[in-house]
Homo-oligomer: A and B are copies of this chain.
């Protein structure tokens, strides 16, 4: 199998994730890295981090894509079954690790992954907007 390496760029991307309380887009990461590496490199690092189950991808209703660090306690099988919240006002996306939807599927479907994103107003914007 392919081995994975620790590079300066990968370390820097991980540090950006550590410092952030919300999910980040490719562009936001690129700006924070301030030309430490090429934007293509960031796409490739994100791909690797997803394969290594270190981050997960969040696809929003408006088409934007963000990434967030996984904070799971080393489960053997790791499933991203938590919800994400996307604020329509400040556009911040946060993991709601405690919110896990329950649902009943029809027969004959095999579910591998779920994507549950809620949009509206986050607590910060809800308070300041009245």
By a beta-carbon cutoff of 8 Å, the part of chain A in contact with chain B is 57, 59-63, 65, 83, 85, 88, 96, 98-123, 126-127
Min CB distance, A23 to chain B, in Å? 14
In the complex, the count of this chain's copies comes to 2
C-alpha gap A115/B117 in the complex (Å)? 5
CB contacts (< 8 Å) of A109 on chain B: these are 85, 118, 120-123, 126
Known: A96-B106, A99-B105, A102-B103. A118 touches B114 (CB 8 A): yes
CB contacts (< 8 Å) of A113 on chain B: these are 61, 118-120
C-alpha gap A107/B122 in the complex (Å)? 10
Pick the most buried of A85, A109, A122, A127: most chain B CB atoms within 10 A of its CB.
Answer: A109
C-alpha gap A96/B117 in the complex (Å)? 16
Complex contact A111–B119 (CB within 8 A) = yes
CB contacts (< 8 Å) of A88 on chain B: these are 112
- Pick from B107, B111, B118, B120: contact of A120, CB below 8 A: B111
